[in-house]
Structure 1
């Protein structure tokens, strides 16, 4: 037996033994045995998948890999590419043990070979053509060289370790689904099985059965230490309050067989999140998943959801629940860092292993993940480790919040692809929305073979079952929100000034950052100490402002009297705020309903009698929809905000809202949404038709763009998967952004704009704006010595895409660009 001739990993130090390839392969197989148990595969298929995972590094039994490891000789074929070639060459050995169709085996060979985040793409010809070897096939076998017979012996020995393994009975459809699932599963097993502290090379060379027994013991510890030891769902009460109607319905609605989709439609503030968790717990108990992933539209909403979930999800399982935060700024969340470093927790409290916290990709593997929808959408785009994300989600009940915000054509197509792929893997989902158009609901239900044309609202719809439509429609203590039109910014400013003087907490939601800055400037010139919140603040300033806003006008607040806030769309869903008086720029109906949800919100804490104004009124800054002269109908009233949304949606919103004059929640919401987005929406004025046609064309192009970007599920992992950079396949369309890293001048060099030192302070000093707008300005020379001294340690991609920008004491960055902690990033022109 020549196994000692083939190292799998270098020695930890000179004089120590190398870790043999076959031993590492058994380490990974042992981890796979632990990880796969809860997935419910039949025993023959389960053993077959473990066996294939064990063979993932068969290509390390090759002269090519050995030369690379010991002498640093570059490889013409990577070891995982050689794995596929060897499995093709030794297919008769595998087939004699596993059986099954040759195309099924070939498909799964590519899946385990592709465990480094990308599928193999060398032209191996396929098993059906093994008699006519391709050039790549021949060259790959030459790279294996003298390892061929030992590779054959390894395959035979591994087959003997899993005697019940079989692929018999697999369908083509199931094989394709497994081809997307298996690479991610193999990646996770490989990462855990590469823990050199637990899987150490033996001093002697034991037989494979003896080594496997040792590896199984190490795997038990390794899987638990990574935070992936599987627990069972626990039947316990999650909340100690009396359930609201939707929550009660979620506790009682019958569950359908197999993968399940539920859509929860209810007004803002109705407790949809808690309703979803109640339903998800029942689905966990019914075996429809082994965890949850809660997807939110933005990092701010994800951070807020993480704080809410942390106190509840620990009750879901019969062992300590692992909880992660998954987005690009998760490491800056104090709550998440505390969870990782906080040490032992109580039985009903969530925790997070350092292994899970190391990357956003691993975050999807925890029992419960909270993150942006982008982290889930990357599982359907041809990017590196796409299959790992798919595997992480496959065992989860996917909860998508604010799903109405995903109706834009590109991201909407991605969401539909995500649900199709999730269902193909046996996954279930719950979608939450306040303002979902019925046409979009129908498309989502159809993915799970469901249908509903019921206009009832609120509604709980389970695909394949009758919708729950008998939920109470009585308007709450707030009453109806009246709608009044404002004709100009001066009228809006007068209203806010007068209302603040009466002690009202006031807000003006603007569509564009520049318009928000103009409004705050106008109010401050009037002597109003208004606050400003938008997306063009450095992260440190944004967090500071958000904390102050929450303290003044949040659910539990103090000092709200006379508080005035100017903000943008970040106020629609990311923060739980409560205002007495609201002004909003005209926006599509769904956005206005969301904004109005922050008006007279917490009536139990601040009843009508305690409010300084007699009734909730949404004041909308808008031109008259009855007076449309040309396509620039909006531009006389709104400035940059006139370009943010499709003008046809804007006009229809204004037309119906000012005619109806009120937003009645929940009973009137469906009619308002359908009046803008439904099949019976009113025709728009002739002057706006061209703009609507253009917008429809752009929407069709965006859906076409998405169709080109989304992986071809039917093609399987080898043909459909890729390993592209995330930036090439965005989860959202939009104008390219440039990230500026702000710095202060200080004796001895530059320091971060944010307080503190080190990587975290620099990350908190970042702010983004449109790339075209920034690159038209004379930004600071990045080769300047003081800038280069900071950026010299940045990776190449960051130096290419980011710009380090010192900020002068007066706020100047360069001609036409300034930054101030109270205004954010401002441009000195109208470009």
Structure 2
């Protein structure tokens, strides 16, 4: 054994308490392959994370992507994998900031903190619908103007890992197409994909590595024959009869409706059971997972949906399952006597659901009735004609992916107020533009629409509607709800914050979209802590406590325009120095765009807004306002839709500056990118608050550069701008992935420069 592998042995023992299996050590020595095939219980999660982390920090830092993106199947509960990785980082002494760890699933999908440090080694754990929607520039639960940042970081310097490729459905060919285009169009730093499986061989995805070393555990197959006319009740009776006191029995149903029905039948017969599915609020989900996986209390019946098929470390003596596709069945079998804790073997009982199932799988199981099987036998088996690993769904074409790069949205909320305060980080308080938009979605490449989810919170209102100042729901309040069931609620029951004026209103049917954040009246029910999302329940929901009020945090000093531009360029150059080298032209374009990005704040309407209601503004052009303890009086801007970055674009455009520099400066808030159009309801003659013929004052920078007073020309701007932006997007030395990454660097530099002057505000009256 080489010294390097001995070091990895120490690394993994420290993290997990276990010696690495030979295939895991090989991954640490050679890197992650395109395809990894490992039996259930064979340590795939550790194999996905720890060899990558070892190579990133110890063995090959320069050649290992700095972000690991662990994408779990859509119905998975990602909490356990997230917490386990956090424990590994703690044991390695890496949880203090050297390695970031972020959860992007369910209510946590709206967290944008992971975007703030692109130079940092980080692990993202989430479900494939949330992660891939961001990789398609249509992020679920993501604020639309932040989409280019998510996109830029996920396509550059990232190692994607997809767990259980057979469970990805229509997303599988999408993942392959994205990697093909990253290889073809180029990225700012290498990005790779590894697909993991416990069943299929998929040579078309790339070279395969088979990880052996799983335990030779056994489970005996037995067929059940529940009466079709009372299927759920008969199955519940079989479960109660099969459960051995003092052990865990796991029951896996193919649908949420049947899982609810079998759980209810068990309860009616006096058998206590837990119900596990993805549709719980955070605190209830964590309590349920803790109870379901506890080692000290094994006298348990657990009824579940396919949520148990991936990323859940769970074992049972008795497993009762419906007939399912072979890949799903193998995953379920891996939750029976997973660790050989029952030397006599586990019991796997199966039945055919009312709608039937795959005849070849049914024949394979029937032929082995009464026999015991091991994970290796299941891995080697291919009942009937093997299905192709890649689903027949057509992936997005290159032209469709190029079109998704345009995030222009006619119904985005006006976010100009963000420019007066803290850095534009896309916090949960921002009005979302993920619903009611005119931009095409990417959902057909992720899953069937009814299988996707919106995020729902419950609130109590005295007058049956949200208050004007009702805060947005926190992650702790949100529950992922299937769109198919949400759509069955009475019209007007769900409320959303209007993406145009930021006011609460009833959601239209078309706005019940994947990732939408909605609020329901708690009086009408729909949720129970022990059952999760329960649309037929009329018991009033107990709302989650509101999160503690955070101290007001904003800019605490007047910042001149020249100072902010200097500081943003400084931050850009520091960031560039911490990342893999870019071509010199792109490197300088980022730095210069940072230097020029806020030139448009010289516009009189913006300067008036910065000074409005304040008694001590200094002379000269400003970039940031000083905030105090007292709230400002209302200010009605004569240009309510003004985007200062459009003014920056016009100044640079009319001054003949480099097209890439001009684009990056314009794109630094995500509103002025490919297509530029007026906001709905904007006064005639205005384009994002800028009138044709507006004049700007002269601007002098400490760099010695001078921008003379100009008359802005918007009359013939949008079409040529779009043509030039598309040329940049399609340029062979840029391409969409690199271009979005350059946008990200300018934006992060802007956030960091702004943060230099941010701090807690003093209390009112104090």
TM-score range, shorter chain: 0.5 to 0.7
Are residues 1:587 and 2:587 paired? no
- 1:244 is matched with 21
Q: 1:667 aligns with which of 370, 373, 376?
A: 376
**Can you give the 5+ residue segments of structure 1 that lack an aligned partner in the other structure?**
1-233, 334-356, 453-457, 461-470, 552-556, 609-613, 623-636, 682-695, 713-718
- 1:577 is matched with 314
Q: 2:479 aligns with which of 759, 763, 766?
A: 766
Question: How far has the Cα of 1:283 moved from its partner?
Answer: 4.5
Question: How far has the Cα of 1:741 moved from its partner?
Answer: 4.0
Equivalent residues of 2:28, 2:54 under 8 A apart? yes
Q: How many positions carry a matched residue from both structures?
A: 467
Distance 1:480 1:431, change over 3 A: farther
Q: 1:567 aligns with which of 284, 296, 304?
A: 304
Question: For residues 642-661 of structure 1, what are the structure 2 equivalents within 5 Å?
Answer: 642=355, 650-661=358-369
Once residues 497 and 677 of structure 1 are traced to their aligned partners in structure 2, the CA distance between those partners, rounded to angstroms, is 35
Equivalent residues of 2:252, 2:304 under 8 A apart? yes
Equivalent residues of 2:86, 2:101 under 8 A apart? no
- 2:174 is matched with 414
Distance 1:621 1:270, change over 3 A: same
Are residues 1:621 and 2:305 paired? no
Q: Deviations over 1:462-520 (max 9, x none)?
A: xxxxxxxxx457x52x2254343444445532332123363332121111111111111
Once residues 330 and 364 of structure 1 are traced to their aligned partners in structure 2, the CA distance between those partners, rounded to angstroms, is 23
Equivalent residues of 1:600, 1:616 under 8 A apart? yes
Equivalent residues of 1:484, 1:619 under 8 A apart? yes
Name whichever structure is richer in helix by fraction: 1
Once residues 75 and 98 of structure 2 are traced to their aligned partners in structure 1, the CA distance between those partners, rounded to angstroms, is 22
Equivalent residues of 2:76, 2:308 under 8 A apart? no
Distance 1:733 1:375, change over 3 A: closer
Once residues 518 and 130 of structure 2 are traced to their aligned partners in structure 1, the CA distance between those partners, rounded to angstroms, is 25
- 1:352 is matched with none
Equivalent residues of 2:35, 2:195 under 8 A apart? yes
Q: 1:734 aligns with which of 448, 460, 477?
A: 448
Distance 1:273 1:803, change over 3 A: closer
Are residues 1:677 and 2:414 paired? no
Distance 1:526 1:301, change over 3 A: closer
Question: For residues 20-99 of structure 1, what are the structure 2 equivalents within 5 Å?
Answer: none
Once residues 491 and 264 of structure 1 are traced to their aligned partners in structure 2, the CA distance between those partners, rounded to angstroms, is 40
Distance 1:247 1:586, change over 3 A: same
Once residues 366 and 796 of structure 1 are traced to their aligned partners in structure 2, the CA distance between those partners, rounded to angstroms, is 40
Are residues 1:541 and 2:284 paired? yes
Once residues 497 and 400 of structure 2 are traced to their aligned partners in structure 1, the CA distance between those partners, rounded to angstroms, is 39
Question: How far has the Cα of 1:406 moved from its partner?
Answer: 4.9
Are residues 1:721 and 2:413 paired? no
Question: How far has the Cα of 1:657 moved from its partner?
Answer: 2.3
Once residues 137 and 95 of structure 2 are traced to their aligned partners in structure 1, the CA distance between those partners, rounded to angstroms, is 37
Report 1 or 2 for greater relative contact order, CA contacts < 8 Å, sequence distance ≥ 6.
2
Question: For residues 111-122 of structure 1, what are the structure 2 equivalents within 5 Å?
Answer: none
Are residues 1:513 and 2:217 paired? no
Once residues 658 and 581 of structure 1 are traced to their aligned partners in structure 2, the CA distance between those partners, rounded to angstroms, is 18
Once residues 493 and 35 of structure 2 are traced to their aligned partners in structure 1, the CA distance between those partners, rounded to angstroms, is 52
Once residues 529 and 433 of structure 1 are traced to their aligned partners in structure 2, the CA distance between those partners, rounded to angstroms, is 36
Once residues 593 and 566 of structure 1 are traced to their aligned partners in structure 2, the CA distance between those partners, rounded to angstroms, is 18
Q: 1:272 aligns with which of 37, 44, 52?
A: 44
Distance 1:386 1:620, change over 3 A: same
Question: How far has the Cα of 1:301 moved from its partner?
Answer: 4.5
Question: How far has the Cα of 1:359 moved from its partner?
Answer: 4.2
Computed over aligned residues only, the root mean square deviation of the Cα atoms, in angstroms, reads 4.3
Once residues 338 and 379 of structure 2 are traced to their aligned partners in structure 1, the CA distance between those partners, rounded to angstroms, is 20
- 2:122 is matched with 368
3-state SS, counterpart of residue 392 of structure 1: helix
- 1:822 is matched with 530
Question: For residues 82-481 of structure 1, what are the structure 2 equivalents within 5 Å?
Answer: 237-240=10-13, 241-252=18-29, 254=30, 261-281=33-53, 283-284=55-56, 285-286=59-60, 287-297=62-72, 298=74, 301-313=77-89, 321-327=98-104, 329=106, 331=108, 358-359=112-113, 361-362=115-116, 366-372=120-126, 373-374=128-129, 376-378=131-133, 380-381=135-136, 383=138, 388-393=149-154, 396-408=157-169, 410-423=170-183, 424-425=186-187, 427=190, 429=192, 431=194, 433-438=196-201, 441-445=202-206, 450=207, 459=210, 471=212, 476=216, 478-481=217-220
Distance 1:738 1:275, change over 3 A: closer
Once residues 376 and 389 of structure 1 are traced to their aligned partners in structure 2, the CA distance between those partners, rounded to angstroms, is 9
Distance 1:487 1:677, change over 3 A: farther
Once residues 454 and 97 of structure 2 are traced to their aligned partners in structure 1, the CA distance between those partners, rounded to angstroms, is 39
3-state SS, counterpart of residue 312 of structure 1: helix
Once residues 459 and 137 of structure 2 are traced to their aligned partners in structure 1, the CA distance between those partners, rounded to angstroms, is 40
Equivalent residues of 2:106, 2:479 under 8 A apart? no
Question: For residues 547-558 of structure 1, what are the structure 2 equivalents within 5 Å?
Answer: 547-551=290-294, 557-558=295-296
Are residues 1:703 and 2:394 paired? yes
Question: How far has the Cα of 1:266 moved from its partner?
Answer: 0.9
Equivalent residues of 2:69, 2:160 under 8 A apart? yes
Once residues 266 and 87 of structure 2 are traced to their aligned partners in structure 1, the CA distance between those partners, rounded to angstroms, is 40
- Please report the TM-score for the alignment, with normalisation by the length of structure 1: 0.49
- 1:24 is matched with none
**Can you give the 5+ residue segments of structure 2 that lack an aligned partner in the other structure?**
1-6, 139-144, 410-433, 436-440, 538-766
3-state SS, counterpart of residue 620 of structure 1: strand
Once residues 492 and 363 of structure 1 are traced to their aligned partners in structure 2, the CA distance between those partners, rounded to angstroms, is 51
